[in-house]
Each structure stands twice: as structure tokens, then as C-alpha cells.
Amino acid sequence: MSRLVVVSNRVADPRKAAAGGLAVALGDALNTAGGLWFGWSGTVIEGGAPGEGELHQQKAGTVTLATVDLCAEDHADYYLGYSNSVLWPVFHYRLDLARFDAGYFGAYRRVNRLFARQLLTLLRPDDIIWVHDYHLIPLADELRALGATQRIGFFLHVPLPPQQLLAAIPQHEWLMHALFAYDLVGFQSEADLENFSRYVRAEAGAEDLGDNYYKAFGRTVQAGAFPIGIDVDEFAALTHGKDAREMYERMKDEYSRRQLLLGVERLDYSKGLPQRLRAFKALLKKYPENLRSATLIQIASPSREAMDTYTDLLQELESLCGAINGDFGELDWMPVRYMHRNVARKRLPGLYRVARVALVTPLRDGMNLVAKEFIAAQDPADPGVLILSRFAGAAEQLKDALLVNPYDTDGMADTIQRALQMPLQERQARHQTLLKNIREQDVHWWRMTFLKALGAAARG
């Protein structure tokens, strides 16, 4: 049987919990299949040489972790720069936040070349290689240039924006050309796949060969939508584990008298946090029966803190939370409990289960695994309600959530009110369908469907 080689910028020990959906999902996939996980070590070497990095290897159960250090300059220009100041904002439809700095692109190519060079030394002829996310779009092209002939698939965890937005990236053609070095390119949603199809036909004159095969730049690639899922059983088991139970017991008493609303994410401008807080404020104004009762716990896990766009958001959030608590709080009740801290994933199910309502309202999100985790953690006899942004990839699958437009403050306040008042029977019915959805297309389904398609993709 072929060995699975997973490549992603972020690598984590698959036996430990990690914040960030990609690391969680790949840990799940590799724990099942075994294999090699290759990527950045997370270490930044001050004064190191650009384009160079030491390779480390360690065993983590059945998985070998192979990681490369980055020098400070590469970390700044490849990770914080091209990946997170160009590709991340543009792919999340935020041209206004993109910084097209000339030095970033060189570092992006340099690090992809470094990864290709280091990875090549570890590869076996019959390996199946699965590359993940926007940091590594040109990796297959670099590997092919070094002679790699293995099957290579790519999965984009973030959205792919429409053609006109993508075309704002000065290197858009180069990036999309690079995708044609893969045998299969996977997206989170049908909407992303549609954007890909439109782009390659309009900008690259691609020929649509049917069955999602496209021919352009003298190469053929197959594309597809493979919505990522969670390990529902593992998450349900976590829900009944010691840490989650302790969390549940602690919170249950306090919130038996109150209605708990919950938001959990990395502190990222794609997640729609200010918009959510404004909607919560509108709820308190418009429906005063929620005063002294509805409490929003917002967990914002620190992320990419070296970037201004992230520190600006932190300040905006602190000021919004402070203003809401100042305006509406009482001595014995604060409407918002805001935490700028990571909460261990094993404790989250306890919190999800106490919440009456989950607010998963990103402005754009590739998928959003928190939405799926919330569903998996609920008590089917008395489930909470999921409010989900129509702009999260998850919305294509989770139609029985209450779908909202996060830019519509009043509309979102009305939906929160509806969720808080939803009768038990409706909550149960919605939850049952949602649970069925996340069970049918779980993380195992995602891995198997993608790898089956990669194995079957015609090459050329």
C-alpha cells in the first residue's frame, strides 16, 4: 500500500489537540492512516540564511513528523508576508487589507523551493502526496521541477474568491498555473469550485474537458469540492471526557439561570467578531427581556499577533466589549465575557454543551469546524441552536442551522432572539438533521473521498 505524505505549513503532534482547524483535521486523518507529515517546525532562527532550514524528524505514534526551521526573514516574508498579508486577505475577499509588498513573493517562492528540496530527500516512489493550503500552492511545481513523478493532490482550506478578486494579486496567473502541476485540486465548497472553474476558463482560456477536468498551460488537472469534516465519534467521546465534564458542571450551575451564547475562534478579521458584538448589542436594545439574562462568552484565541491587522482587531474588540459591558452591565451580570486566550480543545465540548446558542458568524470562512464541533457536542434531548453565517463553507452542508448575513446587524439580532426562544421540538428536529449531515461527511469521509479521487485522477 502507498504511504500517505501530508504537507502543510502548520504541523502538530496528532496525538495532541491543536487550535486551528487544519492541524486538527490533518491530525485526525494521519492518526487513522499513518504516514509522514511534513511542514514548518514552528521554529524561527534569528540570523539564519534565507531559503535554508534544518530538517528534523520525530515519531509521533504511527506518524513521522518531518519539519523544517525557517529563518526570521523567511518567516516574516513567506508566512506573515505573502501567505498572510496577500493570500489570506484576498482569498477572504479583503482586498482592502492586502499588502502587495515586492519582497514577499520572492520569499514565498524561496520557502516553497526549500520545502520541495527537503521533502524530496524523504520521498519514496509510490508515495501519495497531499499538499495543504495557500502557503504551499507552488509546491508540486517545485517538486516536479526536481523530478518528482508521484501523484500529488492539493486541498485549499480557505475560500477561493471570484475571478475579479483573484486577479488583483499581481502573481495570480503564476499561482493558478502552479495549481496545474497537481493531479487533483480540492476545495471546501461548490462555490469555491465554481470560482475556480470561472477563473481558469476566463483568465487562462482553459478547456473544460467535463467531469471537472480542465486543460490549460499545456497541462490537465481535475478539480472537486470536498468539504472537510470532524471526527464526530472522537468529539462525542471528548464531550464525555473528564475535562469537558468538569467544564460543563462548572458552567451549568451559573447558566441554569441565564441563557448562554457562545463564540469560539482564532482572533481573525475573517471571523466577523465586531459585527457579532454589534448584533449582540442590538439584541439587548431591541429585546430588553434579555437584560440580566443573555450572556455572550467570546473566546478569541490569539493568532498571528505580529501583524497590525490582528492587533488592530484586538483593540477594536476590547473597546466594543468594554462599551457593551459599560452600557448594559449590572453589578451581578455582565453581558459579555471576553477571553483573549486559547481554550484547550478537550475542554471546549463542555462549553458547547452548556450554550443555548452558538454564534458562528464569519464574514468568510473556508469551512469552520467549530460549527460542526458544536453540533457534535450537543445533548440530542435538549440541544442548543447553531447560528451560522451564510458565508462560511459549512453553510452549504448545514442548511438546518439558522443562516445569517453577518453584515446585517438587525437581522442577526432578530435571529439570535429567534434562537433564544426556539421551542424544544424545533431545536431537536434541527439538531437531528445537522448531526446526520456531519456524520455522513465526517473527517474520515473527507480523507477517503479525496484520496480515492486522487488515486483515480487521470494524469496529464
Q: How many residues lie near ligand L263DTV3 (CB under 6 A)?
A: 17
Residue of 2, 3, 10, 343 interacting with ligand L263DTV3 (CB under 6 A): 10
Which of ligand UDP, ligand L263DTV3, none does residue 10 bind (CB under 5 to 8 Å by kind)?
A: ligand L263DTV3
| Beta carbon nearer to ligand L263DTV3, 127 or 133 | 133
The string of DSSP letters for 366-378 reads S--HHHHHHHHHS
Residue 109 CB, shortest distance to ligand UDP, in Å, is 25
260: partner contacted, choices ligand UDP, ligand L263DTV3, none (Cβ within 5-8 A by kind): none
Tell me the C-alpha to C-alpha distance, in Å, between residue 175 and each of 119, 140, 163, 199, 371: 21, 12, 13, 12, 30
Query: Judged by CB, which is closer to ligand L263DTV3: 301, or 417?
Result: 301
Considering only the stretches 16-24, 59-67, 375-383, 450-458, report the one whose residues sit in contact with ligand L263DTV3 under the rule CB under 6 A. 16-24
Does 158 contact ligand L263DTV3 by CB under 6 A?
yes
**Residue 133 CA, distance from chain mean position:** 10
| Catalytic residue, candidates 92, 132, 157, 177 | 157
Q: Of 73 and 192, which has the nearer Cβ to ligand L263DTV3?
A: 192
Least separation in angstroms between CB 300 and ligand UDP: 8
CA distances from 374 to 263, 353, 355, 399, 401 (A): 10, 8, 9, 15, 11
Instruction: Pick the closer one to ligand L263DTV3 by CB: 363 or 367.
Output: 367
Least CB distance from residue 373 to ligand UDP, whole Å? 5
Q: How far is the CB of 289 from ligand L263DTV3 (least distance, A)?
A: 34
Which residues, other chains included, contact 434 with Cβ-Cβ below 8 Å and sequence gap of 6+? 375, 386, 398, 400, 401
What's the rounded Cα separation, in Å, for the pair 457 and 72?
39
Q: How far is CA 377 from CA 74, 146, 190, 196, 225, in A?
A: 40, 46, 27, 34, 26
Q: Which of 444, 449, 8 is nearest to 226 (CA)?
A: 449
Please name every residue paired with 35 in a beta bridge, in sequence order, or none if there are none.
63
303: contact with ligand L263DTV3 by CB under 6 A: yes
Per the structure block, which three cell numbers stand in for 273? 467578531
Cβ 358 to ligand UDP shortest distance, Å: 11
**Should residue 111 be labelled a site residue for ligand L263DTV3 when binding is judged by CB under 6 A?**
no
Quick one: what does residue 76 bind among ligand L263DTV3, ligand UDP, none, with the CB cut-off 5 to 8 Å set by partner type? none
Which runs of consecutive H residues, i.e. helices, occur in 56-95?
A: 72-74, 88-91
Measured distance CA(362)–CA(392) in Å, rounded: 6
Choose from ligand UDP, ligand L263DTV3, none: what does 345 bind? Cβ within 5-8 Å by kind: ligand UDP
Q: Which residues bind to ligand UDP, rule: CB under 6 A?
A: 17, 19-22, 24, 264, 266, 299, 301, 342-343, 345, 348, 367-370, 373
The most distant pair of C-alpha atoms in the chain lies apart, rounded to whole Å, by 69
Is residue 367 part of the contact set for ligand L263DTV3 (CB under 6 A)?
Answer: yes
Whether 365 sits among the annotated catalytic residues: the reply is yes
157 catalytic? Reply is: yes
**Which residues are CB-neighbours of 66 under 8 A, at least 6 positions away?**
36, 37, 38, 55, 56, 57, 118, 119, 122
| Cα–Cα distance for residue pair 161/137, rounded to 1 Å | 15
Give the DSSP H/E element, type plus range, for residue 274.
helix 273-286
Task: Note the residues at the interface with ligand L263DTV3 (CB under 6 A).
Answer: 10, 20-23, 25, 133, 157-158, 228, 303-304, 365-369
Query: What are the catalytic residues?
Result: 157, 365
